[in-house]
Amino acid sequence: MSAESTTLYYQAMNRIVRERLGGLHSIELLMWSVDFAPIAQMQADGDWQAAGEALARAAARLELAGAEAIMIGANTMHLVADQVQAAVSVPLIHIADATADAVKAAGCSRPLLVATRFTMEKAFYRDRLKTHGVEAMIPSDAQRERLHAIIYDELCQGVISAASKAEVLAMIAAAADADCVIFGCTEIGLLLSPEDLDRPVIDTALVHAQAGVDFALG
């Protein structure tokens, strides 16, 4: 939901459309870019009702402007996906559904989920994966705290640290039982790339962008 991952979404969706249609083609979309600071404060305060209301208002305005589907460009804010869906009559393309499909397409079922503390610890995300037969593992408590800090204090603010990258890679290496890794925060792909790992990687920003393009071109 930060400006950093918003840029990734926009670039990815246009790249996919260009690859499919060629030439000067690009995606037709409506984007509501939020001021992330108040949203992040609502998250920290546990005021998910207010956060959901803010996104629901944005979604309703996008629908009025002509949107035919809604995407929440973040994993954590899918905690309020039902609230957003209730505010519109068009479908919501859920990031966890796209992620689960990609895990299974990779022949995996036991991923390590690296994400914000909210996404790793609250049931909304892992339960959604489980409905698809995907059983996500999460790092240790101390590792979850550190990941959360890296995401909010660094990645969301455009700070890319080699030391933080080494820390996260060590966390992933320690999860020997995981058969793949979910970049379960849309900013993680700013820090790590699939080439850094010895297991399949599911970058949620990219698979969600793909799902959006599938809808747009379908």
Q: Quick: pLDDT tens for 125-160.
A: 999 999 999 999 999 999 999 999 999 999 999 999
Give the tens place of pLDDT for each residue, 45-72.
Answer: 999 999 999 999 999 999 999 999 999 9
Mean pLDDT on 107-116:
97
Is 20 in the same domain as 31? yes
Separate counts of helices (H) and strands (E) for the chain: 11, 3
Residue 30: phi, psi to the nearest 5? -115, 135
CA 34 to mean position of chain CA atoms: 15
Check if the beta carbon of residue 183 is closer than 8 Å to that of residue 205: yes
CATH code (residue 126): 3.40.50.1860
Is 64 in the same domain as 104? no
Is 109 in the same domain as 188? yes
Rounded mean pLDDT of the chain? Answer: 97
Residue range(s) defining the domain that contains residue 76: 3-94+207-217
pLDDT at 1 over 90: no
Alpha helices in 74-183 (DSSP H): 81-86, 95-105, 117-121, 123-130, 141-149, 162-174
* Number of structural domains the chain divides into: 2
Is 86 in the same domain as 105? no
Is 122 in the same domain as 194? yes
H or E element in which residue 12 lies: helix 3-21
Is 28 in the same domain as 119? no
Burial class (CB in 10 A: 0-12, 13-18, 19+), 5: buried
pTM of this structure: 0.95
Mean pLDDT on 197-215:
97
Is 87 in the same domain as 137? no
Please give the DSSP secondary-structure letter assigned to residue 92.
B
CA dihedral 103, 104, 109, 111 (to 10 degrees): 0
Is 77 in the same domain as 153? no
Is 122 in the same domain as 58? no
Is 194 in the same domain as 106? yes
Residues paired with 201 in a beta bridge? 181
